[in-house]
Structure 1
Amino acid sequence: MPPPAPLQLPKTSGPRPNTTSKSTEIKIWVQFEGYQATRVTLDYTSIIDDLIGVALDGEGRRNEYQAHYRNRKLGPGERIPSDTESDHPVVLRKIIIHPPRDPNPTGPKPYTPAEYHIVIDNSNVFLGGQLIRNEKTEATEMNPATRVNVGNLAKILEKGKLNIDIRTRIVGGTKPPENVRVWREWDSNGYKCMVIDRAATGKESALDDLLHAQILILLRKYEIYNKQQVLVLVTGDGNTNYNRGGFLNVVEIALKDKWNVELWSWELSLSQRFFEIQKLFPTQLTIKYLDPHRTNVIFEEKSKQN
C-alpha cells in the first residue's frame, strides 16, 4: 500500500503572486492506480512535484511514480473524497521501465574470432574436487571417494567455443595403475594425455614442468596468428616449484604476449596470487570456479564389495 499522505504541505515552493492576502488552500484528490483515492491539501502556489513529494512521503519512492492530471469518469464504486474542491483528479501512475532494446542482453555474447588452447592439470582438478567445506564447522575436509566426470568437465570447459576454434586439448597427470581408466576417458574426449609416473615423494613438480613447457611451446607456435589466442588453463596451483617457475609465471608470460587467459579452478584450491595478476590484466584474465558445476563434475565412487 502507498504511504499515507500528510494533511498539509509546507508553503515553501512555487512562485507567490504579489498579494497581501493569505494563501488559499485547495483540496484535491489523488489516487495511486489500483488503490482508493485520498485527499491532499495543497497551497495554491504548489507545483506538481510538491504533490508527488507529499503523496509519496519522501524521496525514497518519488521516482517510482509519475503524476499527470486528467479528467475521467469515476469507476464502479469509486467516490471522490468528501470536502474536495477539484473535479480534476491527479493520478499517480506507476512508472514502467522499458527493457533494453537488446532482445537478449544477458544471453550469449556474439561470436568473436578466437582460437582456444585447453591445458588441464588433472591432479589439481582431482584433488581439489575432494576438498569440501563443512558448513557447520567451516573446516575444510577431504572426501577420498570423490571422482571426476571427465566427459561433463570437458563439456563445461568447451561450452561456448566452436569445435573448429579449439586448437589444443592437453591434459597432464600421473599414472598409478588404478587411474588408467581416467586417461582412456580423456582420450575419448579428444584430449592428448601427457602422463608420467608419480614420484616416490608424492610431489608432482615434474608434471608441472611438463605442462609449463607445453604452454610455452604454444605461445611461440601461435604468436604470429591473426586471431585472438586464448589459454584455457585448469589449475589452481600457485607454487613456484623450488624457484623453477610455475603456472603463475606462464600465465604472466601469456598475458604479456597479448593472449587472453581463462583460468578454471576449485575455489578452495585456487592460489590467491592469481587475483594479484588479474588486477594487472583485468580484461585479459578471467577466473572461473568449477564449484557451481560440482553436481555435474563430481561423483562418489562406490566402495567395492567382496
Structure 2
Amino acid sequence: MLTMLQRELNLGLAMDRASRIQEDIVLLSARGLRSDLAAAEDRLLALLVDPQGAEADFHRERTQQVHIFIDNSNLHISAQNLLDGGRDFDVRLNVRGLVNSIRGGRRAGRQVVAGSKPPGNHAIWDIWDKNHFHVELSQRDVETNREDAVDQVLVSHALIHICNVEPGILALGTGDGNLQNQMRGTLAPSFRNLVTTALSWGWFVELWSWRASCSRVYLDLAKESEGRFKIVFLDPLRPQVTFKKNQGRAATGSSPEGPPASAAAAAATDESEALEEADADDQDICVVCLDEYVTHAYDPCSHKALCRSCAELVQAGGVEWMPLCVMCRTPWTSIVQDL
C-alpha cells in the first residue's frame, strides 16, 4: 500500500512500529518537497485515522497490470547528480527497489530495459534479467563512443507492444524528451511521441524520472493530459531506489539514523553485494559510464579510472566543473592517457 501512496502523492513513505513507545503505535515518516508534503497532509492524516479507503484502492490496484520500459543509462547517471551540480560516482541503482516501487501491488506485464553494450558482461544486466526484464543492449558508436539508438530501440519495443495489447498502464523510466532529431511536421521515435501516442490509444502513462533530468515537455504534457499522464519523481524515493558502492548491507536503503527505508530496499542486499563483486572484477571499466575500458588517469594521484570519451568530457568541463578524482576525491591538475 505504501508504494501505491508514494506513487500517488509523489512522496517517499516509511512505517515503523514504535515498540519503545507503545506497542500499538506506528510511525509514518514522509520524504519529499515541502509543497508535496503540504498537499498530501490531509490525505495522510485521513489514512492514519481510517485506512479503509486506501485499502480499497490497493485491492483495486492488485487487479491492474503495468507494462514497464526503462532507460537504464538515463536513470543511473541522473541518480548520481548532486544538488550542487557535482556527481557522486559511487551511487548505483537499486534495481529491485526501483522495480518494486514502479510495480506497487500491480501485476507485471511486458518489461524491457535498454542500454549500451559494455566490453564485458557487467552484473547490472544480470540483475535486470533476474528481475524478469528483457535486456536490450546496443553497440556504442565506433567514432564517438556514445550510446547509439538506445532510445529508439526502447521506443520501438514499447510501440510494438502497446499496439498489440489492450490499453492499460504504461510506465516509462526516463527523463529524456529527445525532440532534437524531429523535423518540423514529422514524428520521430522519441519518448515524448511515445507518450502522446499511448495517450491517444487510451493508455494511462506514468513517467518515472529524476527531477533534475526530466524534460520540460513532460511537465507541459502532465497539465494537458486530464489525469491520464502522471510524472513520478524518484528523488523522494532515493533511499529505496539507490545505494552507495562499497557500503555493503548498509547500501540497500538503511541509514545510521534508523531502520531500512522499506522492506524492498532491505531485500536488495544481495543485489548490492553482486554489484560490488562485479566492481571488483571490472576494475578496468570506466567508473563514469560503466561501459568502456579505462584509458586515462588523473594527475597527480595516478588513478586510472576514465575511458577516452569520459576523460574528454571531464577535461572539457575543466577543474571548476569536476575538481576531484572520482576515486580518491583529491584535486587533479590534468588527465592523461595511460599507455
Which bracket does the TM-score occupy, shorter chain normalised? 0.5 to 0.7
Aligned to 1:42: none
Counterpart Cα distance in 2 of 1:282 and 1:204: 35
Which piece of structure 1 moves more, 114-123 or 199-208?
199-208
Q: CA deviation at 1:150?
A: 1.4
Provide the identity percentage. Answer: 32
Equivalent of 1:122 in 72, 91, 100: 72
Q: What's 2:37 paired with?
A: none
Give me the whole-angstrom Cα distance separating, in 1, the residues matched to 2:56 and 2:237. Answer: 18
Q: For structure 1, which runs of at least 5 residues remain unmatched after alignment?
A: 1-98, 135-139
Q: 2:168 aligns with which of 213, 223, 229?
A: 229
CA RMSD of aligned residues (A): 2.5
What is the match of residue 61 of structure 1?
none
Question: Deviations for 1:128-184, whole angstroms, at most 9, x for unmatched residues?
Answer: 1111103xxxxx21112221121221111111213xxx2211101012235620000
Q: CA deviation at 1:114?
A: 3.3
Shift in Å, 1:221: 0.7
Residue 217 of structure 2 is matched in structure 1 by 273
Return the offset for 1:301.
Answer: 2.0
5 Å matches for 1:1-306? Answer: 103-106=51-54, 109=57, 110-112=59-61, 113-134=63-84, 140-162=85-107, 166-177=108-119, 180-200=122-142, 201-222=144-165, 225=166, 228-243=167-182, 244-302=188-246
Q: Within 1, Cα distance between the matches of 2:127 and 2:199?
A: 31
Q: Distance in 1 between matches of 2:120 and 2:213?
A: 24
**Partners of 2:139 and 2:148 within 8 A in 1:** no
Q: Contact 1:205 / 1:241 at 8 angstroms: preserved in 2?
A: no
Once the two structures are superposed, residues 182-209 of structure 1 have per-residue CA deviations (whole angstroms, 9 ceiling, x without a partner) of 0000001111100112224244350111
**Kept after mapping to 2: 8 A contact 1:238/1:247:** yes
Runs of at least 5 residues in structure 2 that lack an aligned partner in the other structure: 1-45, 183-187, 247-278, 284-302, 304-339
Q: 1:277 to 1:181 in 2, by over 3 A?
A: same
Please give the per-residue CA displacement for 1:254-299, whole angstroms capped at 9, x wherever unaligned.
Answer: 0011100011001111111101111221310011011111122222
Larger Rg: 1
Secondary structure in 1 aligned to 2:115?
strand
Q: CA deviation at 1:108?
A: 6.2
SS at match of 1:199: coil
C-alpha distance in 2 between matches for 1:182 and 1:208: 18
Q: Write the distance in 2 (CA, Å) between the matches of 1:108 and 1:175.
A: 44
Rate the CA distance shift 1:282–1:141 in 2: closer, same or farther, 3 A: farther
Contact 1:147 1:299 in 2 (8 A): yes
- Counterparts of 2:71 and 2:233 in 1: how far apart (Å)? 15
The match for 1:46 is: none
Q: Is the 8 A contact 2:112 2:136 kept in 1?
A: yes
Deviation per CA, 1:226-277: give whole Å up to 9, x if none.
Answer: xx51111100001125223410001000001110001100111111110111
